Structure formats: structure tokens, C-alpha cells
Amino acid sequence: MKSHYSDAPAAEPIARHTLAVIVDNEPGVLARIAGLFSGRGYNIESLTVSETEHEKHLSRITIVTTGTANVIEQIKAQLARLVPVHRVNDLTVSGDAIERELVLVKVVGKGETRVEAMRLAQAFGARTVDATMTSFVFELTGTSDETERFINLMTGCGLTEVARTGIAAMGRGADPM
């Protein structure tokens, strides 16, 4: 006997997308974009914002989100319709983008634990930006996977605090956004 469930359509896969959005640098723009996401139940996994063209008063917002292909298309279309938005670029679709994240990690420990924290930081290429007799603050820039591995390893060495910037991303090659 045939099951009725075998005729059901396959669930659409959910994928992670990195969106670069150029906007006017003015009050309320970020709130409007965040409102667009929250109002429709979309999640923002990472968000970075900075003015990139001071003379033109433009900022670049990098948003990492997940969704089905239809949801991502809806997000891009709705972002593009907002008045202060100049451009929306899906870096995931447009090619192999460069993504980096900055993490600051505070580790507290003495003796062998302290030595192990220094060894791991050196292995990852992290910089020591603060050191006392009982603690370190390390700075690491890398992919989200690299920074996550570093944080996980430092947990065993006395990790007490983490600050992350979120993802900054840019498309490869000579073409501007």
C-alpha cells in the first residue's frame, strides 16, 4: 500500500546568506531594517554596520541570515524597497565572498593553564592585546569557524569573557558592490 506522505513535496532547504546593504547614514535606518526582520519573524545571525563613504553619508550593513530560497528573495526585495537603501547584494549568490570576524577573548589562569593559553593563541595567530599576572586578552581575526574553534579551545584554559564583532564580508575580484 502506498503512503500518502510519499507524494508530499520535499522541504525546501534552509541556507545561510550574507547580505551587504548600502544605506543612507541617518538616524532610524538600522531600526527600520531590524523592524523588517523582526516583523516578519526572520532571524539576524550577525549584523555589522559602519559608515563607508563619509562624504556621501553612506553606511554598509552586513547581515547574515538563514532561510529558504523564497525567504531570502523576500528579504532582499523588502530591503530594496526601503527608502534609505541604495543597494542590496547577496554575497552568497554573487560568488565566493571573503568573510572575517574579530573576536576578543579574556582568559584567566595561572601556571600550566596560562602556558597552554599562550600556546593556543600562538597556534591560531592571535595577538595578545592585554596581559596581567593572572589574565590575557587575545585578539583574533578569521572566519567564523576559526574564531569558534579558538573560543571552544580557550574554554578549557580559563575563558571568562568573549566579545565578537559579527561578520564583515566583501565579494572577491575587481568589481565593486
Domain 4-94 has CATH 3.40.50.2300: no
Q: Supply 73's cell numbers.
A: 528573495
Q: Is 4-94's fold the same as 98-170's?
A: yes
What is the C-alpha to C-alpha distance for residues 88 and 90, in angstroms, rounded to an integer? 7
Position 96 confidence tier, pLDDT thresholds 50, 70, 90: confident
Amino acid identity, position 56: K
Q: Supply 103's cell numbers.
A: 573576536
What is the topology classification, in CATH, of domain 98-170?
Answer: Alpha-Beta Plaits (3.30.70)
Interval 110-114 mean pLDDT: 93
What is the C-alpha to C-alpha distance for residues 111 and 3, in angstroms, rounded to an integer? 64
**Percentage, residues of the chain above pLDDT 90:** 84
Q: DSSP class of residue 9?
A: P
Please report the pLDDT score of residue 86 as a whole number.
Answer: 95
9-37 burial code (b ≥16 CB/10 A, e <16)? eeeeeeeebbbbbbbebeeebbeebeebb
Spans of all domains in the chain: 4-94, 98-170
Higher pLDDT, 54 or 120: 120
Q: Supply 63's cell numbers.
A: 547581515
pTM (predicted TM-score):
0.84
Residues in Cβ contact with 25 at an 8 Å cutoff, skipping those fewer than 6 apart: 51, 57, 58, 59
pLDDT in tens, 123-175: 999 999 999 999 999 999 999 999 999 999 999 999 999 999 999 999 998 88
Question: In this structure, are residues 59 and 25 in contact, taking their beta carbons and an 8 Å threshold?
Answer: yes
